[in-house]
A and B are shown apart, each in its own frame.
Chain A
């Protein structure tokens, strides 16, 4: 199926706006939609069943799409657009109709059959949390949500969990029962110790033969040098990589009230900290670390999204979709050029 965006010759059904302007406006709309579609993460996290939690987030995400003032939210923004008269009924997503009672046309169907590998950090540092839930619980929810969403998109989803060694590994599949298998693995109680990003990322590179999307959910509280090396290797193997850095609000501002003996959750080492005198230095170093991670990811073409655990979980979905959109824009550009080239060549 040809890309509708491409056949429209750079114009779409939103009107005669140029594609770039439409994309910009759709991005702005998408942001508004994101704001409007917020589901209180506390409320979500109270759902004990992981699958139900994931489902709630995904549906909330879809509802957010629905509540967008712009009907036909974005042709480029998502792979769904509302059905209009004259659309090819073969592109109609009947499952979505069954769920939402609305007609949507699914595009780039061939692009949705991707392999996604969800890599979850389960080290001790992920066990930290200043809210009612820890980072690991939030991250598991994100991973479950992404798995649920991608499965619905008919993408193959795989899972790898790690701390200082590989925990669970489920290869990417899209068959009945696979999502359940993933969710069961996610629900397992684990006792992580230290964090080692080297080993799991190297193993992913060796285990994943065919190209796909690797989504790493971690707090990335480790050396940036090793991360750079491993990400570069993954990219060199042709994988798309997305990093979702899961951070607790207390970690961004060192929310310790009084001088205390602070214990490292991974090493057990303890030091005396007076937050009044240590805070500014901590914030500087923490933000510097974040900037370094950002810079590395930009240089490697890796999408990097920090996610604070008090923010709605569907952010992750928005980030995923944004990422896919940018990717598809690059592809469509290259495809458009190829098509024009072919036409020119064919015409002659």
Chain B
């Protein structure tokens, strides 16, 4: 006989109570009549040497009732056999191991390997296993079909050797992508229908049994750092039958901080002697004092003292530091426990070279008598160059244009003269590829030519251009300040265009409704219209800006207008020399291209496959013939957020968490289920309970009889 809940037998210890009560003899044999109890207090019953058991039969019945009750609660049953592990269903497990930069912290990778080994030690024949490593993208190291049909020990050695040759990378942690990838892997695999029970796959005498698969399981070995990206799980539908077991690794040293040099924005006043540095301290740190300093290529600090900085845990601080001197290669942080993210590589920014192309009659070959009467004169004086770009203004006759300009290098083309059909086609190609074209109807003498050019460029055959009749002057009105071109001038102190007078202008008619009129003259004619062509834009300005035509070039609005036309993104321009781990190489492969890695290794970059992504932090030198470029690659700043997040963060995305049971635990569970089934069929507890109730009934009867006898004797004594 077995017991489903043997611990209930502890209730049988309660038998001691009736024995104790019977020994204490609450009711002595004799009765004594006394005159009054007003001076007496009841004496608590106690055991003495003279105590002896009273009323044996009643005691026995009570003890028996208690024992039967305790026995009923233990739910006894008669068991036939136990489960063996060969009867357990086979398991399908995907082990997902974190190999991101945060796993480079001391001891974490060893912990991760050890946790994987724990799982492997419990493999049994028939189990299916896959191994996925992830950082900012998941990689399958071992597929299910590779482990199918091999023994658990072989699987274990395969996985162990794979992990031995794997080390954490420098990339960030895209945990959401890894989880969804592994989940799909787990639920979409179709296994074989039978499995050998033998450890030795060569053993032909072993029995093949039909495969009974349990629910798939995913085991995630990671540090669960707060910087892991999990937002992509929002759009992932978690499979019902899959559970996720999180095996977290952690470091006993919690202090981690990082430093980062912030980019300078274009619209910020350029300070050449100071840079802004942000220092971040992880949320579980217990210290807040750090030191940052510039270092050279050998890792020696430029300033021995460095800059001390206080950052509370979970917060960041921005400080200003002297700009790096020539020879400085990185900013380093000291004072925390983990140094994988303590270096921020820097390189002197190299400005972009851009061109503003002017297609007009004012060229080096044919200068105008009075430059100040030309459009180019004023265009050349717009200070388009910044600390991030060098802009040169190139001018040529429209017909000298032989190929479509590259929008990347020539962000803006200004056409001030009619052009041929070929040039118009090239210009249309340029705009379609993402370029920006400004056609200025500056001269009434070129109206016809300009109309033809515009029709060719815009493919609007019905477009008409005529000279407007201006009585004295016109002004700009009905300006669309919501458009990015005029948005910077929308503020009330800047949006007064009434001081700009136009002595003459052209009239555009029969233009498509898709054209957006950005500004009109106060006579109702459109002044500036915009058309989207392909991925680029084209504007038509219906008047010139030279003094003979208007006061536009001499107004304070001209320069911001040209700025906006040249750089419609308005705002920050990306630092083209700073990259993050995982970015693609910003260079086209060529036969002469060479890339020098941070380790000093040189590789030839003739094909894209030679070098695809920037996987190590540090400085890269790209040389291609006479061109060269230095870039730096740094870690994803989220990898510095090393404080752990709870597994419940994953539950919020609908992930079903669960722990992986060992074979012993599964066997125990299965046996318990079987026992529970048996017990519920046999229901021996009901008979025991019935017997206990019978005993209690007898006890009540006997107790009542004894009580009546006592009362009768007491009454007789009093009456005497």
Contacts and interface: CB of A to CB of B under 8 A. Distances in A.
Interface stretch (B36-44, B93-101, B509-517, B617-625): B36-44
B44 to A, nearest CB: 8
A282 B39 contact: yes
A219 B717 CA distance: 22
Contact of B35 (A219, A259, A271, A285): A219
B30 A221 contact: no
A262 B32 CA distance: 5
A278 B43 contact: yes
A219 B28 CA distance: 28
B45 interface: yes
Contact of A258 (B26, B28, B40): B28
A265 B33 contact: yes
Nearest to B719: A191
A82 B30 CA distance: 57
A201 B457 CA distance: 135
A263 B39 contact: no
A135 B33 CA distance: 14
Given A271-B42, A273-B40, A281-B41, A261 B35 contact: no
B474 to A, nearest CB: 119
Interface in B1-44: 26-28, 30-43
B718 interface: yes
A68 B608 CA distance: 148
A270 B31 contact: yes
A264 B34 contact: yes
Contact of B40 (A259, A266, A282): A282
Interface in A244-269: 248, 251, 254, 256, 258-269
Which 9 residue pairs across A and B have the least CB separation, nearest first?
A128-B35, A125-B35, A274-B43, A271-B42, A285-B39, A221-B36, A264-B37, A260-B32, A286-B39
A263 B718 contact: yes
B36 A264 contact: yes
A221 B41 CA distance: 16
B162 interface: no
Interface of A: 125-128, 135, 219, 221, 248, 251, 254, 256, 258-274, 277-278, 281-282, 285-286, 289
Nearest to A260: B32
Contacts of A251: 34-35
Contacts of B31: 260-263, 270
Contacts of B42: 271-273
Contacts, number: 88
Contacts of B717: 263
B714 interface: yes
Contacts of A125: 35-36
Contacts of B34: 128, 251, 256, 262-265
A26 B28 CA distance: 54
A278 B28 CA distance: 16
Given A128-B35, A281-B41, 12 more contacts: A125-B35, A248-B35, A254-B40, A256-B32, A258-B30, A261-B28, A268-B718, A270-B31, A271-B40, A271-B42, A285-B39, A289-B38
B40 A262 contact: yes
Nearest to B715: A268
B34 to A, nearest CB: 5
B611 to A, nearest CB: 99
A278 B45 CA distance: 12
Nearest to B36: A221
Nearest to A251: B35
17 contacts: A127-B35, A259-B28, A261-B27, A261-B32, A262-B33, A263-B32, A264-B36, A265-B35, A267-B37, A270-B714, A271-B37, A272-B26, A273-B42, A273-B43, A278-B41, A281-B41, A286-B39
Pick the most buried of B31, B39, B714: most chain A CB atoms within 10 A of its CB: B39
Contacts of B35: 125-128, 135, 219, 221, 248, 251, 265-266
A219 B35 CA distance: 9
Contacts of B41: 271, 278, 281
